[in-house]
Amino acid sequence: MRLLIFLSILVFGLNPNAVTSEKSTFTVALDGSGDFKSIQEAINQCQSFPYEKFTIFIKNGVYKEKIKVHEWNSNLQLIGESQEKTIITFDDHFKKINLGRNSTFFTYTMLVEANDVLLKNLTIENSLGEVGQAIALSVTSTRVSVVNCKLLGNQDTLYASGIGKQFYKDCYIEGTVDFIFGSATAYFENCQLHSKSDSFITASSTPKDVEFGFVFDKCKLTSNDKASKVYLGRPWRIYAKTVFLNCDLGKHILPEGWHNWSKPEAEKSAFYGEFQSTGEGSNANSRVKWSHQLSKKEAKSYTKKNILGEKSKSKIHWYENL
């Protein structure tokens, strides 16, 4: 047996002292009371492409780490002890990265590339302040759920992208310019979107043949004292799709609602809509003419099941029981 172990170490480079992922849960704690002190170290020790869910429980603390959930880390759950006190923070930004015109995409505090991931009870922050593009959370995969999380930043706080489907529930998301942007089909339920300056909330880049882009349902749009002239969105790409359903819009939302980003062609190709907006910023009659106030019949297609549902033999959909 000892010879077999020695040969395995020699041939495959196995570490006999490493923690294996045969268990179903790791615990991360800064004080050393868990399996790891580092979130990234715990992720790196997870089994690749597991058949069952694997949970990393993160105890309260401030973790200054740049986190990457690799493509092979599917079926992973990162669950914090509490939203307020389990904080993941980093301070990269466009000029600091300095990798050319696409430096924005390298600025993330956390990047999720794996499918079937759950983030819950976490604060994820890009802490550097108003210095230009600086992502807090970047999600480029599908069937990713973000539940009861705070996403803190300024410009480009949340990059919800790729061609997959994403679900954000009971989250607080703050920022300045285009602080929710990307190409994903993303459903936001009961979230607070907090504007910190006069700017734009969304900048979707929905692909041409995709039915839904960003959909916000029962969300509350708030602002600080610096923000009094805020647009609901502008098209990063000309086929952008963004719809607000049953949302409470603060007085900081401009009457025209939407901006074409100096792309007049987007007025014909993009789809921007609302259904039953309330609050001082609703102003349905003052919206730009190329936006849409949905009828009840049109709004019926914007259900969670229609937007996020996929063919599956399972009776429980991936976005349920979170």
Structure tokens at 236: 């990063």
Residue 132 and residue 152 in contact, taking contact as beta carbons nearer than 8 Å: no
Beta bridge partners of 182: 204
Please state, as a whole number, how many other Cβ atoms lie within 10 Å of the Cβ of residue 36: 20
pLDDT tens, residue by residue, 73-82: 999 999 999 9
Distance CA 177, CA 156 (A): 7
pLDDT value of position 13: 43
Q: Residue 230 pLDDT > 90, yes or no?
A: yes
- In this prediction, residue 7 carries a pLDDT of 43
Task: Name the H helices within 38-175.
Answer: 39-44, 94-97
- Burial status of residue 17 (CB atoms within 10 A of its CB: 0-12, 13-18, 19 or more): exposed
Compute the distance between CA of residue 107 and CA of residue 95 in angstroms, rounded to an integer. 9
Could you read off the pLDDT of 189-229 as tens digits, one per residue? 999 999 999 999 999 999 999 999 999 999 999 999 999 99
Residue 266 has pLDDT above 70, yes or no: yes
Q: What percent of the chain shows pLDDT beyond 90?
A: 90
pLDDT digits (tens, 9 = 90+) for 286-314: 999 999 999 999 999 999 999 999 887 78
CATH code for the domain defined by 25-308: 2.160.20.10
Residue appearing with tokens 């505090």 = 109
pLDDT at 69: 98
Lateral strand order in the sheet of 54-58: 25-28, 54-58, 76-80, 117-120, 144-147, 165-169, 185-189, 214-217, 241-245, 271-275, 292-293
The confidence score (pLDDT) of residue 20 equals 46
Please determine, for residue 3, whether its predicted confidence score (pLDDT) is greater than 80: no
Mean pLDDT in residue range 239-264: 98
Maximum Cα interatomic distance, the chain, rounded to a whole number of Å: 79
Partners of 235 in beta bridges: none
CB 59 within 8 A of CB 27: yes
Nearest to 237 by CA among 200, 274, 207, 216: 207
Question: What was the pLDDT predicted at 78?
Answer: 98
Compute the average pLDDT of residues 11-25.
Answer: 54
Mean pLDDT for the chain? 93
CA 165, CA 317: separation in Å to the nearest integer? Answer: 12
Residue 273 has pLDDT above 50, yes or no: yes
The answer on pLDDT for 267 being more than 50 is yes
Question: Over 90: is that where the pLDDT of 16 sits?
Answer: no
Rounded-to-integer distance, Cα 197 and Cα 135, Å:
17
What is the predicted pLDDT for the residue at 19? 47
Q: Which pLDDT value is given to residue 252?
A: 98
Q: Which amino acid is at 163?
A: I
201 contacts 177 by C-beta, under 8 angstroms: no
Bridge-based pairing state of the strands 292-293 and 110-112: unpaired
Residue 155 sits at the vertex; the CA angle it makes with 61 and 190, to the nearest 5 degrees, is: 65
pLDDT tens string 123-170: 999 999 999 999 999 999 999 999 999 999 999 999 999 999 999 999
Q: What is the pLDDT of residue 310?
A: 86
More confident residue, 314 or 88: 88
The catalytic site residues sit at 156, 178
Distance CA(319)–CA(309), nearest Å, equals: 8
